[in-house]
Amino acid sequence: MKNKYILGLILGIFLIGLVSAGITGYGITLNKAPVIDDNLGVASVTSVSRNSVATFEFANPTTGKTETLFGKPGQILTTSSGTRVEIATVKPGNLFRRPSAGINVLPQQASPVAGIANGTGVGTNLTNSSNTLCNICTEKYKVLEGEVQIVQGNDISIDYIDVDSTALSVNGTITSDLSEGQTFELDYGEIVTIKDVYHPGVGGQIGQVELCLSGCYKVLEGEVQIVKGDSVSIDYIDVDSTALSVNGAITSDLLEGQTFKLNNGQLVTIKDVYHPGVGGQIGQVELCLSSSY
């Protein structure tokens, strides 16, 4: 009887461990035909590029708001509902098949806690709402060869276009050679991602580049960045954390993945902290608007 009791106790502890660990992950295959999933809402793959960048659309199961996320196999995306998705496989479309992607919906994780800039320098607990890689499309733009596209007041045109990369002119300044999934910055600091590069090939076609605004910003030490009308600067920066000044109010010490609030109530996530180290380098912090997810 004693042995049965011990065995039952061990089994009970094991089962509790499984539940508390949140082992509810599962795999799903998506294509252009939308499917309904309890955690993702209405989900589909809209395209897969030659460089294996898959573009997804998810309709939040609670709000119904549609969002666009993109990434390559191995990357993890986070939807606005907090669901974490790992891209497992992608297949570009052709004349005989539509694009598709295999994804893993990951077990729910406990979220880190962060602080609000509330004018007193005291941090208030908030739930994290971050996307590890800012692989988000808050706004999409298409730039055609020979034309100038105005993106948030910035003049953008194609300097040259290759089979799988491009260089752009941004207000007259030429970017480095950029492949799909790589980024550059606008004058006011917002990060823009190269979503797709369409090389003209033959037959007189016009090359084009598709861009995604990410809702992410870069703040350098000693500079003030305007984020949705709020003045944000670095108060101090450490090896793996930072405190920011938001309209003069100092946040609590924030780690990567933690959040603070703007004056309008919008959550902002600390995406990356780059400590200057030695050699006279400048520290910087990358931020992402959490409402972009």
Please list, in sequence order, all residues whose beta carbon lies within 8 angstroms of the beta carbon of residue 268, skipping any fewer than 6 positions away. Answer: 227, 259, 260, 261, 262, 287, 288, 289, 290
Average pLDDT over residues 158-185: 90
Tokens of 103: 């994804």
Domain spans, the chain: 24-105, 136-215, 217-292
Question: Order of strands, edge to edge, in the sheet holding 100-105?
Answer: 26-31, 100-105, 84-91, 76-78
> What mean pLDDT, rounded, does the chain reach?
77
Average pLDDT over residues 204-226: 87
pLDDT-based confidence at 21, cuts 50/70/90?
very low
Q: Which residues lie across from 210 on neighbouring strands?
A: 142, 196
Q: What is the pLDDT of residue 142?
A: 92
User: Are the folds of 136-215 and 217-292 the same?
Assistant: no
In CATH, the number for domain 217-292 is 2.40.128
pLDDT for 8 beyond 50: no
pLDDT-based confidence at 271, cuts 50/70/90?
confident
Q: Yes or no: say if 95 and 108 are a contact pair by the CB < 8 Å rule.
A: no
pLDDT-based confidence at 180, cuts 50/70/90?
confident
pLDDT for 199 beyond 90: no
The percentage of the chain sitting over the pLDDT mark of 70, rounded to a whole number, equals: 78
Query: What is 136-215's CATH superfamily?
Result: DU1608 C-terminal domain (2.60.98.40)
Write the DSSP symbol of residue 282.
P
Tens of pLDDT, residue by residue over 86-115, are 999 998 888 788 889 999 998 865 443 333
pLDDT for 177 beyond 80: yes
